[in-house]
Amino acid sequence: MEGLKNKIAIVTGASRGIGKSICLALAQHGANIVAAATNEELLQKTCTEVSAFGVQSLAVKCDVSQSAEADKLIDAAVQKFQRVDILVNNAGITRDTILPRMKEDQWDAVMNVNLKGTFNCMKACSRHMMRQQYGRIINISSVIGISGNAGQANYAASKAGVIALTKSAAKEFGSRNITVNSVAPGFIVTDMTAGLSEDMKNKMLAQIPLQRLGEGKDIANAVLFLASSLADYMTGQVLVVDGGMVM
Ligand code: NAP
């Protein structure tokens, strides 16, 4: 993929799932990786696998919902690599339940990680990217943020927020050669979806024209494109990667 060699990429939620796939894909195309999440042991595993591609990596334990920790993450990246070219805001959680039963802490937790975490990391990175006059920010949203979903009011609202945040930042940063785009995954096989029943998975499958559930690498491929120079003239966009589920 054009323009990724020797770039410095920060990926949040890099300990497993989609985030880990994104790290490996970016590393395969020559980017150095700063991997962030709360599980240090799994982060180290991601970094070990990334190293196989001959790039440098750094694991940073970070709860993105805490602005001081997001600041420290970006500082650690800049201290090691002197710059930040690519930021992938992928860390995300679910706390599903129907709205009348949703507790305040379930609402807050999802908003704080998914939406505020994305804001925290974007804000901390923006100073460096503006100075560099270069940046590629990719925020992982969800088709649920477009369509809504019963039992996921908190998650849907957080992901719709990520989309609005993406578009607003794209307008603010365009003149500094910083693009801000979003990838909206459909149903991807990871820990996040592992708890769903076979019956539920089959119901989802029936709504997917491409007749398979997604994999981490399907999302990583879209991130690669948006991070590469092939997408230099794209900003404020939401790339839906869902096998055709929502259209
Ligand atoms: P996952 O397997 O549950 O992984 C979530 C990642 O986020 C983990 O690396 C986790 O690491 C990290 N994380 C959670 N809370 C964090 C926090 N406070 N600070 C830093 N990192 C944190 O989920 P996934 O399926 O890969 O999802 C990745 C992203 O894609 C999420 O934003 C999700 O909403 C989105 N998405 C997923 C699907 C899907 O079907 N799987 C569909 C649409 C959108 P630690 O536990 O180590 O902190």
Task: Calculate how far, in angstroms, residue 245's C-alpha sits from the geometric centre of ligand 1.
Answer: 21
Task: Calculate how far, in angstroms, residue 17's C-alpha sits from the geometric centre of ligand 1.
Answer: 7
* Spatial separation of the C-alpha atoms in residues 207 and 212, rounded to whole Å: 10
Q: If you average pLDDT over residues 31-54, what whole number do you get?
A: 98
Main-chain dihedrals φ then ψ at residue 206, nearest 5 degrees:
-65, -20
Q: If you average pLDDT over residues 98-113, what whole number do you get?
A: 98
114-123 residue pLDDT tens: 999 999 999 9
Question: Does residue 218 line the site of ligand 1, with CB under 6 A?
Answer: no
Q: If you average pLDDT over residues 142-162, what whole number do you get?
A: 98
Q: Give the model's pLDDT for residue 3.
A: 87
* Spatial separation of the C-alpha atoms in residues 127 and 146, rounded to whole Å: 30
Instruction: Look up residue 25 and give its two tokens.
Output: 């894909």
Q: Give the model's pLDDT for residue 89.
A: 99
The protein residue with its alpha carbon nearest to ligand 1, atom 8, reads 13
Q: If you average pLDDT over residues 104-132, what whole number do you get?
A: 98
How far the first Cα of the chain sits from its last, in Å, is 27
Catalytic residue among 119, 155, 173, 187: 155
DSSP string over 94-129: -----GGG--HHHHHHHIIIIIIHHHHHHHHHHHHH
Whether 155 is a known active-site residue: answer yes
What is the 3-state composition of the chain as percent helix, strand, coil, each rounded to the nearest 5? 50, 15, 30
Q: If you average pLDDT over residues 107-112, what whole number do you get?
A: 99
Cβ-based neighbours of 195, under 8 Å, separated by 6 or more:
none
Question: Does residue 240 line the site of ligand 1, with CB under 6 A?
Answer: no
Locus of tokens 């999802």? 110
Question: Does residue 67 line the site of ligand 1, with CB under 6 A?
Answer: no
Work out the pLDDT band at 2, boundaries 50, 70, 90. Answer: confident
Q: Give the model's pLDDT for residue 1.
A: 77
Q: Which residues share a beta bridge with 59?
A: 35
